[in-house]
Amino acid sequence: MTLTVNTAAALALGDDALVLSHRLGEWAGHAPVLEEEVALANIALDLLGQARVLLSMAGDEDELAYLREERAFRNLQLVEQPGGDFAHTIARQLYFSTYQRLLYTQLAAGESEFAPLAAKAVKEVAYHQDHAEQWTLRLGDGTDASHDRMSRACEALWRFTGEMFQPVEGVDIDWEGMRAAWLESVGATLLRATLSVPEGPQSGAWTAGAGRQGLHTESFGRMLAEMQHLHRSHPGASW
Amino acid sequence: MVTATALEEELRRLAGSVLDPELPVLTLDDLGVLRAVHVRGEDSVEVELTPTYTGCPAVEAMSMDIERVLHEHGIRDVSVRTVLSPAWSTDDISDEGRRKLREFGIAPPRGGRPAGPVTLDLGPTRTAATEPEPEPVRCPSCGSADTELLSRFSSTACKALRRCLSCREPFDHFKEL
């Protein structure tokens, strides 16, 4: 399948939203408190809405979500990482929502076909980022146990953050400027939360940095199997 | 003879009177999500609808209700198109809509302020505002301005969960977007 540039870009951004939406949905029934259950499901729903718009720009949304193989997905490896403990989910939310807000802010100011969605979604993502930052502060500057867990989660996911700033073909924004703004924002939140900015590389490890090229980490295949199973078992079924 | 414009106005009024399936006290006009009604030919109408949130699941029910109402009015071919731009904002909710929300027990969004989350800091157990907000969220039951945020997300993505510190009643707040 040959993709035109903008279709490839719509897939990359749409897959990020779809996959993270599914990962957040996995918390349903498992979140630490009821309010969080509702918050994570609402964030997942916002992301699903964005995914539907973006994937529809690239083709049939259902076919793209449910009938593609693992290697055809273009999402960041960060978003496919398993939920882990609550701290891992919050660290992933902090890294990703900060990235997505900066990305959509730039896209909303441009004139590409992504501008209308970005202008709308950036307001939703502002709430996601606020949610993640507040939890980062509470967990980092909380008990010894919550501090340790949050610290471990931030370290563990750090190596997946470099991939966010690999230019996506067809997305015309200032990627290096975005990396600097991301580091400043995330760094300030981590410091306020009494956590340190991880020192390891942001990419370069053998597993990190290739989601945009269709290379994914081990758990992604299992996630897709669960996500696609119903649709594949009952092709064409409707409510 | 009815001109196209007069017909469009009438159809727009009909479509605008459809109720929001999630907040059945509000019409689509109150909510400000109905963007346009175009008569495209005899018996053919195109309606432009904008979602409150990108992932709002109510859009499909709204579209079906608009189609039903216009079919009942004799329009055979109704297509409802979702438009994203310009992005919907809570400022699009009418004064009448705000009044209805309050009566329904939902604190309406505050108007005339930049959209986005309010900066908050964490108290020992709850989120607390770092500085007094310029316009407090009032309790829809007793009217007190002394309310606190319990969660940024509530029964739907467009609402936050708060509690009144005067009458102790928890309530939803249609948050600013």
Residue B84 distance to chain A (closest CA, Å)? 6
Kindly tell me the sign of the dihedral angle through the C-alpha atoms of A71, A164, B156, B93.
Answer: negative
Count of structural domains, chain A: 1
Q: Over its length of 239 residues, how does chain A's per-residue pLDDT go in tens digits?
A: 445 558 999 999 999 999 999 999 999 988 888 889 999 999 999 999 999 999 999 999 999 999 999 999 999 999 999 988 999 999 999 999 999 999 999 999 999 999 999 999 999 999 999 999 999 999 999 999 999 999 999 999 999 999 999 999 889 999 999 999 999 999 999 999 999 999 988 876 555 568 999 999 999 999 999 999 999 999 888 87
Nearest CA in chain B to A48: B55
Question: What DSSP string describes A133-194?
Answer: HHHHHHHHTS-HHHHHHHHHHHHHHHTTSGGGGSPPTT--S-HHHHHHHHHHHHHHHHHHTT
Residue whose structure tokens are 């907040």: B23
Query: What burial letters (b/e) apply to A129-167, b meaning 16+ CB within 10 Å?
Result: bbbbbbbbbbbbebeeebbebbbebbebbbbbbbbbbee
Q: What angle do CA A53, A57, A58 make, to 5 degrees?
A: 120
pLDDT at B104: 93
Cα distance between residue A55 and residue B55, in whole Å:
13
Does residue A43 belong to any structural domain of this protein? yes
Q: Could you report the per-residue pLDDT of A179-221, keeping only the tens digit for each?
A: 999 999 999 999 999 999 999 888 765 555 689 999 999 999 9
Q: Structural domain of residue A225, as residue ranges?
A: 5-233
Of A39, A115, A126, the CB nearest to B117: A126
Does residue A56 belong to any structural domain of this protein? yes
pLDDT at A236: 81
Whether residue A103 contacts residue A239, with contact meaning beta carbons closer than 8 Å, is answered with: no
The CATH number assigned to the domain holding A57 equals 1.20.1260.10
**Partners of A218 in the β-ladder:** none
Whether residue B175 contacts residue B110, with contact meaning beta carbons closer than 8 Å, is answered with: no
Q: Could you report the per-residue pLDDT of B32-58, keeping only the tens digit for each?
A: 999 999 998 888 999 999 999 998 888
Does residue A239 belong to any structural domain of this protein? no
A positions 116-135 inside 8 Å of B (CB):
116-117, 119-121, 123-124, 126-127, 129-131, 134
pLDDT at A59: 94
pLDDT at A185: 97
CA atoms within 13 A on the CB side of A36: 15
If you compute the radius of gyration of chain B from its CA atoms, what whole number of angstroms results? 19
DSSP run (H or E) holding B30: helix B28-31
Those residues whose C-beta lies under 8 Å from the C-beta of residue B110, and which sit 6 or more positions away, are B135, B137, B176
Question: What DSSP string describes A78-113?
Answer: HHHS---SHHHHHHHHHHHHHHHHHHHHHHHHS-ST
Say whether A49 and B122 touch across the interface (CB within 8 A): no
pLDDT at B1: 47
Q: Could you report the per-residue pLDDT of A122-131, keeping only the tens digit for each?
A: 999 999 999 9
Whether residue B37 contacts residue B47, with contact meaning beta carbons closer than 8 Å, is answered with: yes
Residue whose structure tokens are 């020192």: A199
Q: What is the CATH number of domain B4-82?
A: 3.30.300.130
Cα distance between residue A11 and residue A57, in whole Å:
8
Cα distance between residue B51 and residue B55, in whole Å:
8
Among A209-213, B147-151, B170-174, the least confident range: A209-213
Q: Could you report the per-residue pLDDT of B81-95, keeping only the tens digit for each?
A: 999 989 999 999 999
pLDDT of B118 higher than 60? no
Residue A27 distance to chain B (closest CA, Å)? 15
Domain limits, chain B: 4-82, 99-174
Kindly tell me the sign of the dihedral angle through the C-alpha atoms of A27, A65, A123, B12.
Answer: negative
Does residue A156 belong to any structural domain of this protein? yes
pLDDT at B3: 58
pLDDT of B124 higher than 60? no
Chain A hits for B157, CB-CB cut-off 8 Å, are 42, 45-46, 124
pLDDT at B163: 94
Among A124-128, B129-133, B159-163, the least confident range: B129-133
Say whether B153 and A123 touch across the interface (CB within 8 A): no
Does residue A110 belong to any structural domain of this protein? yes
